[in-house]
Structure 1
Amino acid sequence: IKLRNMHVVVVLAGEVVLTREITRQLQGADLVIAADGGADRLGKNDYLPDVLVGDLDSVSQGMRNKLISRAVEVQRFPTDKDATDGELAIVEAVKRGATSITVLGSRGGPRADHELANLLLLADPRLKGIDVQLLTDTTIIRAIGPGQHMLDVEPGCTISIVPISSIVRGVSVSGVCWPLTNSDLNLGSTLSVSNRAIDKKITVDISSGTALIYRDFHSINKTGH
């Protein structure tokens, strides 16, 4: 039995710039889940969530009243909890059967620790088998593990691979200005930061470990490595 694809957009409390791609994601979503103050980020762009999740310590009272008047589902958690509102929202997307998740508002908020935690959530084992990306107005970020990964890109865009496990072994990258062949990337290494695509597809092979791959689609014609 083939299960229906379900795309969920999760909106966190960081900056959300309503680009063409972000608009496409919101309009094409089967479900939009806001994590606490993410509801206000949506409201500023004339959208409302289908579900609000969190301890509700940052969403405005005006937005809460609007959501109540629209009978939007609200899942309130205690302030003292074992997960961020962002994690709770992403887990809720998984529980509802998401096959793909786009996370907005993961960067640019008042909490630098939350920004890092949002990035590391991409490697959460509960997301295995689900296509998850963090999307900003300039960048797409995904977690990649062992295997071959073929990515559609814009020639000239910046590509960065950042290890988030202690070592990422056997990294090969083709379709870029500075290819890698069977390289090992230690945690903290910047060897594979700020590469540049030269083809419409790039291929990344990894033998073991986990990394984040960044695609900066507003960096065409910029140089640097």
Structure 2
Amino acid sequence: MALVILNQPIPHSDTPLFPALWQRATYKLCVDGGGNQLYSFGKRTGTLDKYIPDVVVGDLDSLEAGPRAFYSSKGSVIQHYSDQDSTDFMKSLKYLDTGLRAGQDPKKCVVVVFGGINGRLDHTLHALKVLVNEHTNRDILVISTENLTFVLPEGKSKIEVNKEVDGPTCGILPLAGEAVLTTSGLRWNLDHFPSTFEGLMSTSNIIDDPEVYIETSRPVVWTSEFRPM
């Protein structure tokens, strides 16, 4: 698993979500100003030396001098990409494609993005665009203390729900064009329902069953309320 940390605050609370993700991750990447956020989190929690990323990647216009010097001294790679036609989030995926570990295929590695679906609206929309564009190349989950978001491919999918942390609210977003949807396991199920961004969408739905089945004619974004323990 690769953990990608975007430039959004890492909450300091009793929720062990971020430490748990960090512990499970094989690769840890900060995306430009995400290095500032990780550094700030480490200072607030007294754990600076515990959270050292493998790499800080991007055009590095947001990375502050203090975090840059600290992580560099701890062995983190500071990778600058000058390409202005791709965002820092896209640059992090480019870096993953070079492979952080010899002999491993980075595209077989699940990418968990911390943050991204909160904060600035343009950043949120871009994160959703990257999810849709990249879904055939790799599995990407965007996770926060409020939401869990990922792409369901064309065809049939099953979502196993842990009701202690998932839901109850959810939505299915047809961001790749009109999708004809059939579902089961939701409060308001759909039966060959044509869904478009300009027209009708299934938002503020409710997860009723521990397994949700969705059939779609095009890739769609699934998002659910997330309550990490």
| RMSD over aligned Cα atoms | 2.0
In percent, how many aligned pairs have the same letter? 25
TM-score (norm 2): 0.83
Aligned to 1:23, the other structure's residue is in SS state helix
Q: Which amino acid aligns with 1:138?
A: E
Question: Who is 2:194 aligned against?
Answer: 184
**Deviation digits for residues 46-70 of structure 1, max 9, x if unmatched?**
2231111111111111000101211
Question: Who is 1:36 aligned against?
Answer: 32
Q: Which amino acid aligns with 1:77?
A: Y
Alpha-carbon distance change, 94 to 181 in structure 1, aligned in 2, over 3 angstroms = farther
**Deviation digits for residues 59-98 of structure 1, max 9, x if unmatched?**
11100010121121111122x6110011111232244214
Question: Who is 1:116 aligned against?
Answer: 125
Alpha-carbon distance change, 15 to 211 in structure 1, aligned in 2, over 3 angstroms = farther
Question: Who is 2:8 aligned against?
Answer: 14
Q: Which amino acid aligns with 1:188?
A: E
Question: Who is 1:52 aligned against?
Answer: 56
Question: Who is 1:148 aligned against?
Answer: 156
Q: Which amino acid aligns with 2:183?
A: V
| Contact 2:188–2:205 (CA under 8 A) maintained in structure 1 | yes
Question: Who is 2:221 aligned against?
Answer: 212
| Contact 1:167–1:209 (CA under 8 A) maintained in structure 2 | yes
Q: 1:172 aligns with which of 179, 182, 199?
A: 182
Q: 2:96 aligns with which of 77, 89, 93?
A: 93
TM-score (norm 1): 0.85
Q: 1:136 aligns with which of 115, 132, 144?
A: 144
The alpha carbon displacement at 1:9 in A equals 0.6
- Count of equivalent residues: 208
- Structure 1 unmatched runs, 5+: 1-6, 220-225
Aligned counterparts of 1:59 and 1:87: Cα–Cα separation in 2: 17
| Contact 2:174–2:201 (CA under 8 A) maintained in structure 1 | no
Is 2:86 the counterpart of 1:83? yes
Q: Which amino acid aligns with 1:163?
A: P
| Contact 1:108–1:115 (CA under 8 A) maintained in structure 2 | yes
